[in-house]
């Protein structure tokens, strides 16, 4: 049986055109700033996001770490959401490498307010760590791809400015947030000092993420990237498909959002618990407890009928739509779940 892989948009594969542009890419030593393709990518990315400069990194995790290190001194406080990717999934790099103190804020669908930032900030008492950075995640992965709106970013940014802190946006899926809200991406990140976004994931490039911000900050990040082993030589082989992705793969993310909505509605109609208000982009979180089983059991059963997903919590699983998954795949998934396996779904 053909497997339909909805585990994550990290499983996207580059298309032929993307791979072919690697063959034609002009290359040079990027540590010496002599790779024209990397330079073009960095200029294109920063222009699209409305920032002065850009830096190609090996991964989103690396770009987030660079942002933490460039904005904060050792021992500083970083305010972030309780289930932020930086806190939850980046191997504790903020503590072990950057030496930072996380101050966690409980968001609503991944979003917190300016007042929550004010309340979380330690202040300048002799006893407290210096509060230097607030990191927000747009879209928020563990909130099921929910978006920060322009107004919500502005509200947090007001507090951040008042407190003399800086704002980093973990925008691994910032183009999803922009499309879902019909908001130009540069406007959505206007208040941010730095933004990370991924060329891999929904944009389907094989490797790489970008960090963008003002020139001085990005040049300092470039040096830290070198220190942590992220200086790459003929990195145009990575930049070429990245450029292709920025030019050709952004608008099609809408297809992933449309597919996610159809999938979510279908799952609901066959008995899964889905909160449709959280289905804003390409991620669907489905509660499997109405089926009388836990998430791990369901994941195993789904694998048997060629549906690949990840458990998200003891009771919920996550489906992610992405490049390579079409409307037919979504119909097929719903058909397999309803018809091809004796799941105890109430109909
Ligand atoms: C919100 C968010 N930030 C950062 C990352 C890290 O990206 P990478 O896997 O390229 O390190 C991810 C990866 O899934 C993510 O979802």
Domain ranges of the chain: 13-248, 252-339
Say what the pTM is: 0.96
Residue 124: predicted pLDDT = 83
Q: Do domains 13-248 and 252-339 have the same CATH topology?
A: no
Q: Which of 174, 201, 206, 228 to mutate to test the pocket of ligand 1 (most atoms within 8 A of CB)?
A: 201
What Cα–Cα distance (Å) separates residue 14 from each residue in 36, 94, 204?
21, 31, 6
* 200 CA closest ligand 1 atom index: 10
pLDDT reported for residue 228: 97
Q: Is the CB of 30 under 6 A from ligand 1?
A: no
CATH of 252-339, one of 3.30.1220.10, 3.40.50.1220, 3.30.365.10, 3.90.1150.10: 3.90.1150.10
Mutate-to-test residue for ligand 1 from 58, 97, 141, highest number of ligand atoms within 8 A of CB: 141
Q: What is the pLDDT of residue 1?
A: 86
Q: For the domain bounded by 13-248, which CATH number is listed?
A: 3.40.640.10
DSSP 16-54: HHHHHHHHH-----GGGT--HHHHHHHHHHHHHHT-SEE
Taking alpha carbons only, the member of 231, 248, 198, 239 closest to residue 36 is: 239
Q: Which residues contact 222 (CB under 8 A, 6 or more apart)?
A: 55
Written as tens digits, the pLDDT of the chain (347 aa) is 899 999 999 999 999 999 999 999 999 999 999 999 999 999 999 999 999 999 999 999 999 999 999 999 999 999 999 999 999 999 999 999 999 999 999 999 999 999 999 999 988 889 999 999 999 999 999 999 999 999 999 999 999 999 999 999 999 999 999 999 999 999 999 999 999 999 999 999 999 999 999 999 999 999 999 999 999 999 999 999 999 999 999 999 999 999 999 999 999 999 999 999 999 999 999 999 998 999 999 999 999 999 999 999 999 999 999 999 999 999 999 999 997 545 555 54
Provide the pLDDT for residue 122: 87
SS3 for 146? strand
């Amino acid at each position: 049986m053909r497997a339909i892989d909805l585990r994550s948009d990290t499983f996207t594969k580059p298309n032929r055109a993307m791979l072919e542009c690697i063959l034609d890419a002009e290359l040079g030593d990027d540590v010496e700033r002599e790779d024209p393709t990397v330079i073009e990518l960095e200029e294109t990315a920063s222009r699209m996001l409305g920032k002065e400069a850009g830096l190609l990194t090996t991964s989103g995790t690396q770009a987030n770490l660079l942002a933490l290190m460039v904005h904060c001194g050792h021992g500083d406080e970083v305010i972030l959401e309780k289930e932020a990717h930086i806190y939850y999934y980046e191997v504790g790099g903020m503590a072990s490498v950057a030496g930072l103190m996380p101050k966690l804020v409980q968001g609503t669908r991944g979003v917190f307010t300016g007042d929550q930032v004010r309340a979380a900030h330690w202040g300048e008492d002799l006893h407290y760590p210096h509060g230097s950075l607030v990191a927000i995640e747009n879209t928020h992965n563990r909130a099921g791809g929910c978006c920060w709106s322009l107004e919500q970013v502005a509200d947090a940014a007001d507090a951040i400015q008042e407190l003399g802190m800086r704002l980093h946006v973990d925008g691994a899926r910032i183009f999803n947030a922009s499309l879902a809200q019909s908001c130009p991406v540069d406007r959505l990140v206007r208040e941010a000092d730095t933004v990370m976004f991924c060329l891999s994931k929904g944009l389907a490039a094989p490797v790489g993420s970008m960090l963008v911000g003002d020139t001085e900050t990005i040049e300092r990040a470039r040096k830290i990237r070198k220190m942590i082993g992220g200086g790459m030589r003929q990195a145009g082989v990575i930049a070429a498909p990245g450029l292709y992705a920025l030019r050709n793969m952004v608008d099609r993310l809408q297809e992933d959002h449309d597919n996610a909505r159809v999938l979510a509605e279908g799952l609901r109609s066959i008995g899964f618990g889905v909160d449709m208000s959280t289905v804003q982009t390409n991620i669907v979180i489905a509660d499997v407890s109405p089926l009388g089983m836990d998430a791990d059991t369901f994941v195993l059963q789904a694998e048997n009928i060629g549906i690949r997903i990840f458990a998200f919590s003891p009771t919920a699983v996550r489906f992610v739509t992405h490049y390579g998954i079409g409307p037919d795949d979504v119909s097929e998934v719903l058909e397999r779940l309803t018809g091809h396996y004796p799941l105890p779904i109430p109909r």
